[in-house]
Amino acid sequence: MRRFDYRAPRVLIDLPILFAMGSLTRAGRCREISADGMKIQLGDRFPPGSEGTIDLKVGEVSFLFPVRVARAELDYDAVQFILDTQEQREAVNRLVACLGAPRPCTSLTVAD
């Protein structure tokens, strides 16, 4: 019998990001987001296990996420969020729900 690994629902988006790792910063695009992480496109490849931060721009609001590169594919990288607290997980869940809503959210904040 095959074991199923359930993934968090994904939202297809196209938003600008900045990926920073140490003193290196690269601009790119977030193409997909979920409560677990993002699919991003960058000009450079970073090896799996690399850690850094992603600054995601949504309109006038910027969200900073600590991330770890999970996979480096030919045309994208998959990064996982490094979330330490339940509050951080809930904030990411709210953001993903807002981005996936049929109508854009009028107010994007990570805290209620």
**Burial class, 19, CB count within 10 angstroms (exposed 0-12 / middle 13-18 / buried 19+):** buried
pLDDT given at position 103? 72
Within 10 Å of residue 17's Cβ, how many Cβ atoms? 24
Residues 6+ apart with CB under 8 A from 83: 66, 89, 92
Q: What are the residue boundaries of the structural domains of the chain, listed by start?
A: 11-100
Q: Single out the residue of 94, 29, 32, 92 nearest to residue 66, CA to CA.
A: 92
User: Under a CB-based contact definition with an 8 Å cutoff, are residues 45 and 19 in contact?
Assistant: no
- Phi and psi, residue 4, nearest 5°: -100, 130
User: pTM for the full model?
Assistant: 0.82
Superfamily classification of domain 11-100: predicted glycosyltransferase like domains (2.40.10.220)
pLDDT band at 58 (very low <50, low <70, confident <90, very high): confident
- Residue 107, pLDDT > 70, answer no
pLDDT digits (tens, 9 = 90+) for 65-98: 999 999 988 889 999 999 999 999 998 998 998 8
Strand partners, 21: 24
